[in-house]
Structure 1
Amino acid sequence: MNKNYSICFISFFFLFFFMLINFFGVIYFIMNDINLFLEWEIISFNSMNIVMSILLDWMSLLFMMFVTLISSSVIYYSKSYMKSELNLNRFILLVLLFVFSMILLIISPNMISIFLGWDGLGLVSYCLIIFYQNIKSYNAGMLTALSNRIGDVMILLLISWMMNYGSWNYIFYMNFMFSDYSMQFVGLLVILAAMTKSAQIPFSSWLPAAMAAPTPVSALVHSSTLVTAGIYLLIRFNDLLVNLFFFKFLLLISGMTMFMAGVCANYEYDLKKIIALSTLSQLGLMMSILSMGFKDLAFFHLLTHAMFKALLFMCAGMIIHMMNDNQDIRMMGGISLYIPLTSLCLNISNLALCGIPFLAGFYSKDLILEMVSMSNLNLLIFYLYYISTGLTMFYTIRLLMYLMVNDYNLLCIYNLYDEDYIMLKSMFMLLFMSLISGSFLSWMIFSYPYMIYLPMNMKMMVIYVMMLGFLLGYLVSITNIYSINKFIMTYNLSLFLTVMWFMPSLSTYGMNYNFLSFSNNLVKNIDMGWSELLESYGIINIIKYYSVISYIYQMNNFKVYLFSFILWVMIFIVMIML
């Protein structure tokens, strides 16, 4: 056990130290307006060069700082959360490999090294999701791996398509080649790859399924690593994509994703799935503001969201741990009386998610919604933004009511204690960042403030929507949501809203049922039918028949020898007589 703990501490201190280096690097780079493009020639043989390129600017350093801060907290948290796990070393090494893949993706200006990081994320996420080895984990892991594989194929196509240009360093071509037809094709491939990694419709079903992973992994995956890789890639390619038609299409898709995730979260009773669907909703928000051309705003929300979402998962993990691994929110209630510090962290991270003023989420979310209100947008997109914001408040208040206010519904409360100081220390580190990171980043990222001029009602629109969401969330949680459904909508429509618009069915049963039933018919009719009768089974019958005859001769039976002796004597006599 001591050896396991030492690996945890070494990993934690290494990542925390790296985070501090990145923090001072970010400040230095922003103050002096520095961008570093480094090329390291690994092999040069005749005319072939293998070169490793690294791009260091304020954006990559800032993102690395957040990734290493969250991953160091997660590893420290895992020391207590996974203490009964025999394979803790393997878990920590997988998490470190995951973080390394993300860092490789962040600092790469080259499509080949981006692909290494991109594929590394997909592979290691599969290993982490199937960490608890059961059938549910295997299914979730396969769904995640195959959904992400589509994005990997897009990146491979993109690499082959960029051979038209002479180099895979995409940053050289973005500013002056965006009118080129080939570059438009590259833009489409980038958008499709980002849609699979960031789980936009129709690839959304893998994200809630990935909840089969241990909770520390969920905290890492859903805050700053796997799901944000697609957003980060689009931020880097934004100058190329901003005039493409596909980007306008992405605005619609991401708006629908945001709305769909918000609605589904209100029908869900699994604590981790509710938080996963809120991640999906926030990813839709980032994608949609990115497709309007505001890459700094998308990056700002990406970082603030990473902080409170990691904290939210850690709190959820602690609650699940204390509830004997039960994730159903209907079983919980009144937990703030027994675990006040965890409840404090959960409430603050939930309120930051809603965008309550002066918490981390407020600075980015409010700015995004005000820029949307100022922009010349389609009314549908405008409504999708504001309804989704109201839905965020809706499912958050419902969650808080079920967890904090309702009566306790589990059998015993002896498990509820709030003294796991290792988990609490890592949570308080992120709690501090959830409080200050919004204002800290708004000063750091934006060198000048956005000038937003709106009428009073438009300015207050966010407050109106949030108050309506608060009221609906309160009403739904004190009554049963399905009793309200009987009056509002039919059962079939509520079923459609509950199961993510049938996306899990379409991406699993819908995709593989026909192939599997066809292969079943092949096995039954050919492998176990004609082929069996004429080849394997038929040959076995013939061999068995002849082997029985041979066996009879080999039994050393006196009767057989006597018969053969008489036979030979008769043949001999006949031969003499002739």
Structure 2
Amino acid sequence: MNMNKNICYLFFIFLFFFSMMNLFFMIYFIMNNMIIFFEWELISLNSTSIVMSILLDWMSLLFMMFVLLISSVVIYYSKSYMVSELNLIRFIILVLLFVFSMILLIISPNIISILLGWDGLGLVSYCLVIYYQNLKSYNAGMLTALSNRIGDVLILMVISWMLNYGSWNYIFYMNFMKNDLVMEFISVMIIMAAMTKSAQIPFSSWLPAAMAAPTPVSALVHSSTLVTAGVYLLIRFNLLIVNTFFIKILLLLGMLTMFMAGISANYEFDLKKIIALSTLSQLGLMMSILSMGFPDLAFFHLLTHAMFKALLFMCAGVIIHMMNDIQDIRYMGGMNIYLPLTSLCLNISNMALCGIPFLAGFYSKDLILEMVSFSSLNMFVFFFYYISTGLTMYYTIRLIMYLMINDFNLLSIYNLYDEDYVMLNSMFMLLFMSVVSGSMLSWLIFYYPYMIMLPFHLKMMVIYVSIMGGLIGFMVSNMNIYSLNKFMKTYSLSSFMCLMWFMPNLSTYGLSYYFLNYGQNLLKNIDMGWSELYSGYGMMNILKNYSIFYNMFQLNNLKIYLFSFILWMMIIIYMLLMSM
């Protein structure tokens, strides 16, 4: 057991040291406007060479710093959270493989090395989702793996299409995008691959299902690694994709994802699923602002979101641990009395998620919403953005009501304590970052301050919808069960909203059940093999069918006798004519 603890400490120090090193390098690079590009050739095929390359600029270094910081804290947190796990080393190695895959994806300007990191993320995420080996985990893991495989296949297709150009380094293609049909096609495939990884609307169902993974993994996966890979890919490819016809569809799908996740989170009672759906909502926000041509804002929000979302999952992990592994928020309540420090972290990360002024989420979210107000978009987009912001406040207030203000509903004699200092120390590190990272990044990333002139009421619009959403959340949480049932009497609409617009059913039953049922007999035949089908059992079936057919002739039926008599007479006449 001591060895396990030492390994956690060792990897925590190792990753934390690398994270700080990346921070200093990033500041040096950004001050001197530096980019380092390593390249070495592996194989040369006719005119195309497979080259391994690494791109180090301020963006990749900053993102690596965030990924390494969060993963170091997660490994330190796992020392206490996974204390009952006998094979902790295997868990740590899986997490490290996951982080390594993400770093490979971050520093790759080459689509082949991007595929290595991309595929590595998909494979290791499957191993982590099925970590607790039960039926729910296996189903969730399969859904996650197969959804991500679509993205992998699209990236493979991009690699084969890029053969036309002689190189796989996407940074070379920024200039001759204009009126090139093949490049348009490549851009659409990259956008669709990013949509599978970042769980945009046709592929959203795997993200809440991936909650079957242990909580430290959820904190890592849904903050800075797996789900942000798609957004990061599009930020990197931004100059390629900005002129495509598909970009407007991405804006629409991003907004719908944001809206759908916000509504579904208000119907959900599973603590981890609510946080997962809030991640989905923020991913929709990033994708839609990216499709409007603001990659720097999307990157800024991606980094600030990573900090408070990892903290939110860690707080959820502590609460679930204390509640005897129950995730239903209806059993919880009064957490601020029993777990004051965890509640402090939870509330601050929730407020950062809502964009309360001067916390991390405020700097990025407020800037994004003001840029939306400033852009020449239609009213549909404008309303969707602000309604989704109100919904974020709605489900956050609802969560706080259930967790903090309502009464504790588990057992009358139950011991809750807030003295797991390993978990608390790791949470306080992220708490500090959740408060500081927004202002720090806004000074570091932007060379000049965004100056946005808006009318007073449009400037205050964010605050209006936040207050409105908070009030509705408070009132709905205060309703008793009877009035709540009357309020949600439209069961069909309720189930439609609650089940993420039936997306999990469409992704599972819709894609497998009916097709498998339709091809069941064919599958049976293939499974048996041709030898089984046409000899032995198969031959018996054939003879049985023929005997049924002959049996019909043996019936004393006048029509059959008459028909056979005429048939034979025709054959005899034909034979006689032929012989003459």
TM-score higher than 0.5: yes
Instruction: Give, in whole Å, the separation in 2 of the partners of 1:54 and 1:235.
Output: 17
Give the structure 2 partner of residue 240 of structure 1.
240
- Specify the alignment match of 2:145 in structure 1: 145
CA shift at 1:528, angstroms? 8.2
- Work out the CA distance in 1 between the residues paired with 2:482 and 2:305: 31
What is the distance in 2 between the residues matched to 1:51 and 1:394?
Answer: 50
Aligned to 2:449: 449
* C-alpha distance in structure 1 between counterparts of 2:380 and 2:489, whole Å: 22
Q: Distance in 2 between matches of 1:71 and 1:209?
A: 22
Q: Which residue of 2 aligns with 1:499?
A: 499
Distance in 1 (alpha carbons) for counterparts of 2:528 and 2:476: 56
Say what the alpha-carbon RMSD is for the aligned residues.
Answer: 2.1
Q: Is the 8 A contact 2:129 2:140 kept in 1?
A: yes
8 Å contact 2:220–2:310 — kept in the other structure?
Answer: yes
Whether the aligned pair in 2 keeps the contact of 1:67 and 1:224 (CA below 8 Å) is yes
Q: Deviations over 1:173-221 (max 9, x none)?
A: 1133343111111110110000000000010000000000000000000
Q: Which amino acid aligns with 1:22?
A: N
**Offset of 1:515 from its aligned partner?**
2.6
Secondary structure class of the residue paired with 1:27: helix
Structure 1 unaligned spans of 5+: 541-578
Output one character per residue of 1:286-321: Cα deviation in whole Å (capped at 9) or x when no partner.
000000000000000000000000000000001000
1:116 is aligned to 2:116: yes
The CA distance in 1 between the partners of 2:419 and 2:90, in whole Å, is: 27
Higher Cα Rg, which structure: 1
SS of 1:55's equivalent in the other structure is strand
Give the deviation of 1:451 after TM superposition.
1.4
1:13 shift after superposition? 1.2
**1:526–1:532 Cα contact (<8 Å) kept:** no
2:550 aligned residue: none
| TM-superposed deviation, 1:394 | 0.1
SS at match of 2:94: helix
Once the two structures are TM-superposed, the CA of residue 478 in structure 1 deviates from its matched residue by 1.0
CA distance in 1, matches of 2:159, 2:529: 46
Change (3 A) 1:42 1:259: same
SS class of match (1:266): helix
Check 1:536–1:81 CA distance in 2 against 1; reply closer, same or farther (3 A cut).
Answer: farther
Taking the TM superposition and a 5 Å limit, the aligned residue runs for 1:205-224 are 205-224=205-224
SS of match in other structure, 1:245: coil
Shift in Å, 1:525: 8.0
Deviations 1:37-63 (A, max 9, x none): 111345679988543100000000000
The aligned amino acid for 2:119 is D
Matches within 5 A, 1:83-482: 83-412=83-412, 414-480=414-480
Distance 2:526 2:14 in 1: 59
Aligned residue for 1:202, secondary structure, equals helix
Q: Is 1:261–1:277's contact at 8 Å kept on the other side of the alignment?
A: yes
**In structure 1, distance between residues paired with 2:198 and 2:54:** 24
CA distances 1:266-287 after superposition (whole Å, capped 9, x unpaired): 0000000000000000000000
Q: How far off is 1:470 after superposition?
A: 0.6
User: TM-score under structure 2 normalisation?
Assistant: 0.90
Per-residue deviation at 1:14? 1.1
Quick check: 1:178–1:240 contact (8 Å CA) kept in 2? no
Tell me the residue number matched to 2:35: 35
Matched-pair contact (CA < 8 Å) for 2:49–2:167? no
* DSSP 3-state at the match of 2:380: helix
Instruction: Return the alpha-carbon distance in structure 2 between the equivalents of residues 514 and 396 of structure 1.
Output: 38
Distance of aligned partners of 1:223 and 1:533 in 2 relative to their CA distance in 1, 3 Å threshold? closer
Change (3 A) 1:352 1:538: closer
CA distance change for structure 1 residues 8 and 526 in 2, over 3 Å: closer, same or farther? closer
- Find the aligned partners of 1:323 and 1:172 in 2 and give their Cα distance: 54
Q: Name the CA distance, whole Å, in 1 between partners of 2:301 and 2:316.
A: 22
What CA distance in whole angstroms lies between the structure 2 residues aligned with 1:405 and 1:482?
A: 20
- Displacement of 1:481 in angstroms is 7.2
Q: When the two structures are aligned, how many residues end up with a matched partner?
A: 540
In 2, the alpha carbon distance for the partners of 1:516 and 1:438 equals: 50
Alpha carbons of 1:492 and 1:14: their partners in 2 closer, same or farther (altered >3 Å)?
same
Separation (CA, whole Å) in 2 of partners of 1:279 and 1:237: 23
CA contact (8 A) 1:258 1:388 kept: yes
Local SS of the residue matching 2:175 = coil
TM-score by length of 1: 0.90
Aligned residues with identical type, % of pairs: 77
AA in 2 matched with 1:518: Y
Q: Structure 2 stretches of 5 or more lacking a match? A: 541-580
Mean CA deviation greater in 513-522 or 354-363: 513-522
Separation (CA, whole Å) in 1 of partners of 2:120 and 2:229: 12
CA 1:482 to 1:365, structure 2 compared with 1: closer, same or farther past 3 Å? farther
CA pair 75-526 structure 1, distance change in 2 beyond 3 A: closer
- Greater CA deviation, 521-530 or 265-274? 521-530
Deviations 1:516-558 (A, max 9, x none): 2134444678978998797445899xxxxxxxxxxxxxxxxxx
Give yes or no for contact 2:349–2:431 (8 Å, CA) kept in 1.
yes
* Distance across 1 between alignment mates of 2:521 and 2:492: 33
Matched, 1:17 2:24: no
Pick closer, same or farther for the CA change 1:86–1:425 going to 2, 3 Å. Answer: same
